[in-house]
A and B are shown apart, each in its own frame.
Chain A
Amino acid sequence: EAGVTQFPSHSVIEKGQTVTLRCDPISGHDNLYWYRRVMGKEIKFLLHFVKESKQDESGMPNNRFLAERTGGTYSTLKVQPAELEDSGVYFCASSPTRNTEAFFGQGTRLTVV
């Protein structure tokens, strides 16, 4: 069974540009989460989808970040326009229910220069 996959694994963009990160959860997992670790900080929750609905987006830092999960399958996280402080590693995770363990992807390392 394939795990959680994220694309791209690395992205380097200039300040002001747009970047879209993609996450493919484990098949059948209704719950999808985005987390990130910015330089020197702890891993922080961004948001949670149940199928295609945003259940909790309390961790989204500002309106430059937009997450979608059309059709309740894969999810995208768009950063527009990117700022230097957005650099970090973005993790996606999925789980069958909220009360089961979450499986994480390998992350996307985003560098904004």
Chain B
Amino acid sequence: DAKTTQPPSMDCAEGRAANLPCNHSTISGNEYVYWYRQIHSQGPQYIIHGLKNNETNEMASLIITEDRKSSTLILPHATLRDTAVYYCIVKQTGANNLFFGTGTRLTVIP
């Protein structure tokens, strides 16, 4: 069911930007790209989503390539509390559920 590919792990220095890549080469026209994260022992947390335009909110920015086959989640100033597993998920409009893959384990280093 997984439609995305993410690196299993990444490190980022505290205060630096964390750039998390995601490949979704088979994405179709009505599928959105969603990002969630799971901090240890907590439930998944929504971060951001987009269709084709770049998006920004108070947590992060989402950059989607023009062909929509890949995207990058950017945490502009990573803190220790951003250490978590980050999931890139493609989801059809109106679909019932989210397919969580294995995600990227981001470790923010002091």
Choose from B41, B43, B49, B99 the contact partner of A105 (Cβ within 8 Å): B43
Residues of B close to A65: CB separation below 8 A? none
Chain B at the A interface: SS class: loop
Q: Please, how many angstroms separate the alpha-carbon atoms of A77 and B41 in the complex?
A: 20
> In chain A between 53 and 76, which residues have their CB closer than 8 angstroms to a CB of chain B?
55-56, 59
Binding-face segment, B11-19, B74-82, B89-97: B89-97
B45 interface contact, C-beta 8 A: yes
Closest beta carbon of chain B to A57's beta carbon, Å: 10
Neighbouring A residues of B41 by C-beta, 8 Å: 106
B97 proximity list for chain A (CB < 8 A) = 33, 35, 45, 48, 56, 59
**Residue B21 CB within 8 A of the other chain:** no
Q: Are B43 and A56 in contact (CB under 8 A)?
A: no
Given contacts A101-B34, A101-B49, contact A43 B96 (CB under 8 A): no
* Residues of chain B within 8 A of A59, CB atoms compared: 97
Kindly supply a per-residue 1/0 record for chain A positions 65-92, scoring 1 wherever the CB is within 8 Å of any chain B CB and 0 otherwise: 0000000000000000000000000010
Contact yes or no, A45 B43, CB < 8 A: no
**Inter-chain contacts of A105 with B (CB < 8 A):** 43
Q: When the two chains form the complex, which single residue of B93, B101, B102 contacts A99, counting CB atoms closer than 8 Å?
A: B93
Among residues of A, the one whose C-beta sits closest to the C-beta of B48 is A101
Tell me the bound Cα distance from A45 to B99 in angstroms: 7
Residues of B within 8 A of A (CB): 34, 38, 41-46, 49, 93-102
Query: Which residues does A use to contact B, with CB under 8 Å?
Result: 4, 33, 35, 42-45, 48, 55-56, 59, 91, 93, 98-99, 101-107
